[in-house]
Structure 1
Amino acid sequence: MGTKESKQFLPLGDKPVLIHTLMVFETHPEVDEIVVVVGAEEVQRVEEMVAQYGLEKISAVAIGGQERQDSVRSGLEHLQTEWVLVHDAARPFVTHGHITELLKVVRLHGAAILAVPVKDTIKQVDPAGIVERTPDRQSLWAVQTPQAFRRSLLVQAHQRALEQGMTGTDDAMLVEELGIDVRVVMGDYQNIKLTTPEDLAIAEAIRKMRGTER
């Protein structure tokens, strides 16, 4: 992001990005508890923010690890629910509809992710900058979060990855390595992850367009 402040703490309107994200889950009737996973130096700050904004479903603020999947594994240790949603703090525009649909599909199949069809033509390029091939765009989807799983299945996938020293790009990849089918639920192109400075301008436009809509 190129800022001194971590992107999840940057202001979006009148609240930090993290609070916008958490409030979507806080206000969803099927979400029972939320674990926030942060760096050790951020725990107190997040606990104070949780109290300030009256977030009652936060059951723990856990300390994360070096890699993303280490942080997810840490979060899982604080949960006992049958179903779990893993979500990026920097995706504040997930909706109640997304969560509801994911929960419906994951209860039927055990693993489900949000994704949208890729709009652009994708090129596979070698280290020298030469195009190797052009994959069929119709089979390519850009993955978003939340990703939803039966908790016991995700714990098993993370344990296997830990034992084998495998690092996955997302939790679905770890579950796929178990031979489990992961179902795709249609996401939304507005469900962006704030990564670059340009994303902040887009996020502000989305926020103003939506108003109070979740």
Structure 2
Amino acid sequence: MQYSALIVAAGSGTRMKLGYNKVYAKLSDGTTILDKTLSVFLNDSDCVQIVLVTDCVEHFEKEQGRKDGRIVFASGGKTRQDSVYNGLRAVLSDVVLVHDGARPFLDQESLEKIKKTMETEKAALLCVPCKDTIKHVQDGYVVETYERSTLQCAQTPQAFETDLLLTCMHKAKNDHFIGTDDTSLV
């Protein structure tokens, strides 16, 4: 199954207090987080396009030096959701995998699993079991403790039929809805 990868990498590193986009932080082997993230998709022959959403095109070209013709750029937006929307407008494939640029440890097995799921579904996501106990708190008081065995932590990539995600993005924009991840829009 051929697909486009949409890599969201337009952050500013504010939460990490780096002073620069965390995707350009160096890993122990000297590569950047973004290098590691991109390598999974660059090494997958099913990936026919990589839409890199970043406001640092010059930095990317200087630091990464990638000359792969599959990589195109889109500008970041005010929010992650806006950035994904900007990137979606450049996607050429019927299926898109939306992945956070700051998640460099996607393994081939997980990628194959989500691609296989997309052969029969309109959307799919990767999840891992939740290890923490989750509490619902209101006004400083615990009102509910969720059963951990029923909870999953969403990961990326999250996969979609491109037209479906675009339709849902338009609806979210019109309804002023901001999702916590892309699947929350579908």
Question: Normalized against structure 2, the TM-score is what?
Answer: 0.87
Aligned partner of 2:171 among 160, 181, 184:
160
Pair 1:115-2:133 in alignment = no
Match runs of 1:17-166 below 5 Å:
17-39=33-55, 42-50=56-64, 52-58=65-71, 60-128=72-140, 130-166=141-177
**Maintained 8 Å contact 1:123/1:134:** yes
Give the root-mean-square deviation of aligned CA atoms. Answer: 1.3
Greater helix proportion: 1
The whole-number CA distance in structure 1 between the counterparts of 2:81 and 2:120 is 25
The whole-number CA distance in structure 1 between the counterparts of 2:73 and 2:39 is 15
**Maintained 8 Å contact 2:81/2:178:** yes
The whole-number CA distance in structure 2 between the counterparts of 1:67 and 1:165 is 12
**Which AA in structure 2 matches 1:26?**
L
The whole-number CA distance in structure 2 between the counterparts of 1:54 and 1:38 is 16
Percent identical residues: 38
Alpha-carbon shift at residue 32 of structure 1 (Å): 0.8
**Maintained 8 Å contact 2:49/2:92:** no
Q: Please give the per-residue CA displacement for 1:26-61, whole angstroms capped at 9, x wherever unaligned.
A: 00121111010012xx122123345x1444421x11
**Maintained 8 Å contact 2:48/2:70:** yes
**Maintained 8 Å contact 1:63/1:71:** yes
User: Residue 87 of structure 1 aligns to a residue in which SS?
Assistant: strand
Greater strand proportion: 2
Could you list the runs of 5+ residues in structure 1 that have no partner in the other structure?
176-214
Pair 1:173-2:184 in alignment = yes
User: Residue 124 of structure 1 aligns to a residue in which SS?
Assistant: strand
The whole-number CA distance in structure 2 between the counterparts of 1:27 and 1:56 is 13
Could you list the runs of 5+ residues in structure 2 that have no partner in the other structure?
1-15
**Which AA in structure 2 matches 1:29?**
S
The whole-number CA distance in structure 2 between the counterparts of 1:55 and 1:94 is 20
